[in-house]
Structure 1
Amino acid sequence: MFEGKTLLITGATSGIGFATTRRLLAEGARVVAVGRNPQRLAELVQHGGDAVLPLAFDLTDFARYREVLAPVPALDGLVHSAGIVENNPLRFFSLETHQRIVAINQTAPLALVAELARGNKLNAGSAIVLLSSILGPEVGIKGTASYAGTKAALTAFARVMALELAHKDIRVNCVAPGMVQTELVDDLHQLSEEALQADRARYPLGKRYATAHEVAAAIRFLLSSDAAFMTGQTLVVDGGFTAQ
């Protein structure tokens, strides 16, 4: 499916981005892997060999986008998976925390797509997938206004970008997961295992969180020709959580 295709994946060194990178490499893609974990980048290179172009880069360093992206080959797809999750409740609101969340979750994907479009780095017929969340577009959780706002923004970005890039047959969509069993959840030491189990039980399909591989499968679908007439849409992967 992806033989001869070149894809850029941000957040490629952890969680959903790592799983997506591994899956697309297995299907013959060449991947520009953007991440900040040199050990994971090295692991991807060891796994994918010449098919992996590692790019250690802080996506909030906006002044360097043109310089860093200049040597990147023309792309057939982009997955923006990089992001951070931090609580920022109203009573303890931190502007610094808010700006940090917005910079990586919201400004980075917009600036990245804009720079790639200006530099003619997106081939006609390519596909862009932004990793949103049900938190923001579909549901709310106390203390997460900054994060939820950035994820809701991505669904709006997809609709507008889809219209702006349609003349080049470039598709733009979002994947919106519920909770996903990644390193982030594994490191939630502030929650007891009992609390996590109770939260998992709220997901009708299997009483569990999604796996990173299941979300990667949805991303892969939106990148593929099977989704050739889908653009400006958000694909929810939440085990039925928002159906309740």
Structure 2
Amino acid sequence: MFKGKTILVTGATSGIGYKVCLDLLDAGAKIFAVGRNQDQLAALQKLQPENVQTLAFDLTQFTKYSETFASVPGLDGVVCSAGIADSNPLRFFSLEKYQRTVDINQTAPIALVAELARNRKLNAGASIVLLASIMGTKIGRNGGAAYAGTKAALTGFAKVMALELANKSIRVNCVSPGMVNTELADNQSEVSTEARQVDMQRYPLEKRYAEAAEVSSAIRFLLSNQSSFMTGENLVVDGGYCAQ
């Protein structure tokens, strides 16, 4: 399905982004993997050296985008998966934490797509997938104002970018998962194991969180020609959480 296609993935060294890379490689794609963990990038490249290019880069270094992404080949797809989920309740609000969340989750995806579009790195018919969340687009949660705001913003970006790039047959969509069993979820130290178990019971489908593979499948669908007439949309993967 993806043989001969080249797809750039941010957040490629962990969680959903890493799983997307593995799945796309299995499907015959070439990957341009962007992440901050050089060891993980090297390990990813060793899997299929002929099909993986890597770039160790902090996506908040906006002034370096032009020089950094100049070497990117023509792309048939982009997956913006890099993100953070720091708790930042209003009572203890940190402007520094808020701005970092905005920079990584919200500004980086639109800055990257703009950079690639301006420099004609997106092939006609390319598909862009932004990793949003049901947090912000469908639900709220204490301490998550910054995270929710950034993820809701991505769905708005997708609609606008879909219109701006439609004349080149380039599609832009979002995937919004609920909670997913990844390092990002595991590293939320303010949430106890007991609280996680209680939260899982709120997911109607099997009383559990999604696996990264289940979100990756939705992303692959939006990257593929099977979704060729979908753009500006937000595909929810939440085990029925928002149906309640």
Relative to the length of structure 2, the TM-score reads 0.98
- 5+ residue gaps, structure 2, are none
Q: Give 1:48 shift.
A: 1.8
Given residue 114 of structure 2, which amino acid in structure 1 is its aligned partner? A
Alignment-derived partner of residue 124 in structure 1:
124
Aligned to 2:75: 75
Check whether the contact 2:84–2:184 (CA below 8 A) recurs between aligned residues: no
Distance 1:63 1:190 in 2: 34
Shift of 1:167: 0.1
Query: Per-residue displacement from partner, 1:151-175 (whole Å, max 9, x unpaired)?
Result: 0000000000000000000000000
Question: What SS does the aligned partner of 1:153 have?
Answer: helix
Distance 1:191 1:60 in 2: 27
Q: CA offset at residue 187 of structure 1?
A: 2.8
**SS state at 2:31 partner:** strand
How many Å separate the matches in 2 of 1:45 and 1:64?
Answer: 23
Alignment of 1:21-170 (within 5 A): 21-170=21-170
Instruction: Find the residue that maps to 2:66 and give its secondary structure.
Output: helix
Counterpart of 2:13 in structure 1 is 13
CA–CA distance in 2 between the matches of 1:33 and 1:94?
A: 31
Report the Cα offset of residue 184 of structure 1.
2.0
CA shift, 1:195, in A, is: 1.4
2:242 counterpart residue number: 242
Q: Distance in 2 between matches of 1:93 and 1:21?
A: 35
- Equivalent residues of 2:159, 2:172 under 8 A apart: yes
User: What secondary structure does 2:133 align onto?
Assistant: coil
Q: Distance in 2 between matches of 1:224 and 1:145?
A: 33
- The offset of 1:194, in angstroms, is 1.8
The letter of the residue matching 2:143 is G
Q: Is the 8 A contact 2:202 2:241 kept in 1?
A: yes
Q: Which residue of 1 aligns with 2:185?
A: 185
In 2, distance between residues paired with 1:178 and 1:191? Answer: 16
Output the TM-score relative to the length of structure 1: 0.98
CA deviation digits over 1:94-129, x for unaligned, max 9? 111111000010000110000000000000000000
Cα deviation per residue 1:165-221 (whole Å; 9 max; x = unaligned)?
Answer: 000000000000000000122233433322111111110001000000100000000
Amino acid corresponding to residue 193 of structure 2 in structure 1: E
For 2:144 and 2:204, the matched residues in 1 are separated by: 23
Match in the other structure for 2:230:
230
AA paired with 2:202? R
Cα distance, 1:237 vs. partner?
A: 0.1
Q: Which residue of 2 aligns with 1:218?
A: 218
Q: Distance in 2 between matches of 1:186 and 1:153?
A: 24
> Cα RMSD between the aligned structures?
0.8
The secondary structure found in structure 2 opposite 1:135 is: helix
Query: Match for residue 176 of structure 2?
Result: 176
- 3-state secondary structure, aligned to 1:79: strand
* Separation (CA, whole Å) in 2 of partners of 1:76 and 1:189: 38
Cα distance, 1:134 vs structure 2: 0.1
User: What amino acid sits opposite 2:170 in the alignment?
Assistant: I
Give the aligned length.
Answer: 244
SS at match of 2:135: coil
- Give the % identical residues: 64
Counterpart of 1:194 in structure 2 is: 194
The one-character-per-residue Cα deviations of 1:73-99 (angstroms, maximum 9, x if unpaired) are 000000000011011111111111111
Distance across 1 between alignment mates of 2:173 and 2:113: 13
- Write the letter of the residue equivalent to 2:204: P
